[in-house]
A and B are shown apart, each in its own frame.
Chain A
Amino acid sequence: MTAKPGFVEATLESDLKNVVVAEEISRRVATTAGFDESDQHRIEMAVHESMINAIWHGNKNDASKTVWLRFQIYPDRLEIRIRDQGNGFDPSLIPDPLAEENLLKVSGRGIFLIRTFMDEFRTEYIAGAGTEVTLVKRLSSNSQPQQGGTGREHESHHSSG
């Protein structure tokens, strides 16, 4: 993992154990960016679901593949990009999990939760690279960056491995 002021990048192996690693990074970055506890949890859940999608559906649980993450703190928002090495997917094809006929389905709620918890959700298939999802959470006016960071300059995160 490399770190520079304002952003954190990590490349993780396709192992479900690394979902927790990504959650931990997201929690630290969200705290630094000044999100309250409730939004920290929403961001963490969105990252969790995106990591599951990347490892399980994108990389097909292939340990030789990796997931790349980038957390970028802007003055008004946190932008998270998560890229797998899979063949892409079309989120518009995922059935609405709130439709009466889908309520008792076992799967199909991950993308819905990401959309619910974040302000923006985009997907892009990058030929030869994989699928990249972008998650954006805006800072509300009463959010304050953690001590040591400002809206324009935030403390760096350091790799634990």
Chain B
Amino acid sequence: MSMKATIRQVDSVTVVDISGRITLGEGCSQLRELIRNEVSKGNKKMLLNMADVTYIDSSGIGELVSAFTAVSNQGGQLKLLRLTKKVHDLLQITKLYTVFEVLDDEAKAISSFESAASA
């Protein structure tokens, strides 16, 4: 039920596979800590795989915004991968769909970081 996150490195991109609930309390704290750690290690290309996120609340949305800002402030990029319909709808309702870059294909998402870096 609670949030789980595993981190893997694909080329220069840090992919975070998130599952479960991103809600006020444990889920948000875990995500905040994880992003903080990765940013402090100098990882500036972050891809959050949201395919297995079952529930996200207003605090969880706030945590995504916080992560986006933290990575952007370090000159990096944070993108979202494979949103569920519920998360997709929430980002549209809150107008954040225009803020985040959202992709459905992991390989294309990874290469989008590379092409941005070489541009």
> Which A residues form the contact surface with B (CB < 8 A)?
16, 19-20, 41, 45, 48-49, 52, 56, 97-98, 103-107, 109-110, 112-113, 116
30 A-B Cβ contacts within 8 A? A16-B25, A20-B1, A41-B86, A48-B23, A49-B57, A49-B58, A52-B57, A52-B58, A56-B24, A97-B94, A98-B95, A103-B96, A103-B99, A104-B65, A104-B69, A105-B62, A106-B62, A106-B63, A106-B65, A106-B66, A107-B58, A109-B61, A109-B62, A109-B94, A110-B57, A110-B59, A112-B58, A112-B94, A113-B58, A113-B93
Measured between beta carbons, the chain A residues less than 8 angstroms from B61 are 109
Q: Range of interface residues on chain B?
A: 20 to 34
Measured between beta carbons, the chain B residues less than 8 angstroms from A109 are 58, 61-62, 94
Q: Give 1 or 0 for each of B69-105: 1 = CB within 8 Å of chain A CB.
A: 1000000000000000010001001111001000000
Bound CA span A16–B95, Å = 27
Bound CA span A41–B61, Å = 17
Taking each of B1, B24, B68, which has the highest tally of chain A beta carbons within 10 Å of its own beta carbon?
B24
Bound CA span A122–B31, Å = 33
Q: Give 1 or 0 for each of B1-15: 1 = CB within 8 Å of chain A CB.
A: 100000000000000
Bound CA span A8–B61, Å = 30
Measured between beta carbons, the chain B residues less than 8 angstroms from A107 are 58-59, 62
Bound CA span A20–B93, Å = 23
Bound CA span A101–B61, Å = 17
Bound CA span A56–B24, Å = 10
Bound CA span A97–B90, Å = 13
Bound CA span A62–B100, Å = 36
